Amino acid sequence: MPKMNLIAAFLICAFVIDRLVSAIYFVASYRNQTERTENNRKIVRFLIAGAFAAAAVIAFDFLRILKEVWPSKPAIDALVTWFVLVAGADQLSSLLGVDGAESSAGGGEQTLHVSGTLQLDAEGEKVLRLQRS
């Protein structure tokens, strides 16, 4: 197996394992009443992403992950591709720091925390004095 195929296989397997472990933790946390509302939102998001991913897998025959790495049955390849698309959409939004509900609602209030020492130069000190008066 060429090195690039081996690397791709490791990345796909690691991604699938990470998502399966996250799913197990999700199911375990669903019993917690305080997290139930957030988990319900995640389920709805998963179902919508699943529908779009299924449409993409059905519409685009070239969109298969496993056939690029090793020979597999078409149904298994389609299932793994669907899973990676659905889980990848969630990971991509987490990476970008975007939550679907918050981004469509116009964003929320953001807080900036600064730690350390702030030093003003002479020009900045003048601006600060003008703003105070």
pLDDT in tens, 45-103: 888 988 998 998 899 888 888 877 777 888 888 888 888 888 777 666 666 665 544 44
| Total count of domains within the chain | 1
The whole domain housing 46 covers 3-108
Asked whether residue 118 is domain-assigned, the answer is no
Q: Is 41 contained in some domain? A: yes
The percent of residues in the chain predicted with pLDDT above 90, rounded, is 5
* 40/133: higher pLDDT: 40
Is 128 domain-assigned? no
User: Per-residue confidence at 40, pLDDT binned at 50, 70, 90?
Assistant: confident
Report the distance separating Cα 130 and Cα 124, nearest Å.
Answer: 10
Instruction: Assess if residue 53 is contained within a domain.
Output: yes
Whether residue 81 is contained in a domain is answered as: yes
Which of 6, 34, 126, 20 is closest to 80 using CA atoms? Answer: 20
Phi, psi of 112 (to 5 degrees): -110, 125
Residue 16 lies in a domain: yes
40 falls within a domain? yes
Entry pTM: 0.55
87 is a domain residue: yes
